[in-house]
Amino acid sequence: MTLASLRKKLLPDGPALDIHVHPLNCFGSYRVSSPGTDAERLVATARRSGVTRMCVFSLYETTPYEPTAEQCRLANDYVLRMRDAEPEAILPFCYVTPAFPDEAVAEIERCVGGQAMAGVKLWVARRATDPGLDPIMEAAVAKDVPVLQHAWLKTTGNLPGESTPFDVADLARRHPKARIIMAHLNGVGYRGIEAVVDVPNVVVDTSGGDPESGLVEAAVRRLGPHRVVYGSDAPIRHFGVTMNKVLGAGIPDAAKRAILWENALRILKLDRREER
């Protein structure tokens, strides 16, 4: 096998949409001088691994676990400027905190309603069982966008506001009309898959943790290929490593295509959004 043929084998044979990406100014070792530079460098890096489009959300440059509403607003302004630099590649998500539900709803109106952001991001300020999420979920449903909820199941202990997959299942049952992307397949693991098996409005992204053998196959087997979606968590993780969790999995090619592209289009309602 030549290096050229090996390189080809590590790339998808069609477009790929990464549903879980952060700016370089939040994580990783690169220092960037502006949102435009951030976007250009991130997109160039992603393209080497075959990623053609990506959902990007900032957690503010200092990534505080308890962000203020103002920090969320600045984070969202940053990714809007990234989209200005790379409009074909970047689909920005709106970062909000359930600690300030009223401000969060207003921010969703500003960013999704006013700026056509593609989704809402929730991180670790409050667990998904917290009632502060409810108005956010209602706003997302009203705007017809998905919510990407961070989740992990850490033996070493979750953060106080960090959701488990069981919390995400609770959220999905409270809001059955919401489209929820549970982050970090490799963070929630086999127990996390089971937590959402019977909650059809939850899909899981393939990000989080290491490229453990067998986990993507397990998710496809238990949830079906239509409920698994490619996410890298770049720049914390490598676009190509995470891409090859899917490409290297023992699942049918049609399932790989669904995970890398088609499911994201459906969840984001991208075809319809781009006709507007």
Partner 1 sequence: MIIDVNAWTGPLPALVNVPYDAASVRASLREYGVERIFMAPLAAAWSANPHLCNANVYESADEFDDISPVPVIDPTLPTWPEELEKAAGHRAVRMIKLLPGYGGYELAVADDLLAEADQAGLVVMVQIRIDDPRRHHPLAMVPDVPAGDVVEAAMRHPNLKLVIGGASATALRDFAAQVRDLPGLYADTSQVDGVDSVKMLVNAGIGGKVLFGSHAPVFMPAASMARALIDLHDDTAVGIMEDNASGLLSV
Nearer to partner 1, 101 or 192 (CB): 192
Rounded to whole angstroms, the maximal C-alpha distance in the chain is 58
The count of residues interacting with partner 1 (CB under 8 A) is 45
- Containing 220, the helix (H) or strand (E) segment is helix 215-223
45 near partner 1, rule: CB under 8 A: yes
Q: Does 253 bind partner 1 (CB under 8 A)?
A: no
Contact between 198 and partner 1 per CB under 8 A: no
* Binding flag, residue 185, partner 1 (CB under 8 A): no
Contact of 215 with 191, CB cutoff 8 Å: no
Of 159, 190, 224, 273, the residue at the interface with partner 1 (CB under 8 A) is: 190
**Rounded Cα gap, residues 58 and 121, in angstroms:** 9
Q: How far is the CB of 85 from partner 1 (least distance, A)?
A: 17
For residue 204, which of 181, 173, 176 has the smallest C-alpha distance? 181
**188 class by beta-carbon count within 10 Å (0-12 exposed, 13-18 middle, 19+ buried):** buried
6 near partner 1 (CB under 8 A): yes
CB of 153 to partner 1, least distance (A): 8
Nearest to 148 by CA among 173, 118, 176, 126: 118
249 lies in the site for partner 1, by CB under 8 A: yes
Nearer to partner 1, 145 or 151 (CB): 151
Scanning 98-106, 148-156, 167-175, 195-203 for contacts with partner 1 by CB under 8 A, the matching segment is 148-156
What is the dihedral sign for C-alpha 197, 202, 203, 205?
negative
**What are the residues whose beta carbons fall under 8 Å from the beta carbon of 243, sequence distance 6 or more?**
10, 11, 12, 16, 49, 50, 51, 230, 232, 260
Binding site for partner 1 (CB under 8 A): 1, 3, 6-7, 9-10, 24, 28-30, 42, 45, 48-49, 152, 154-156, 186-187, 189-190, 209-214, 217-218, 234-245, 247-249
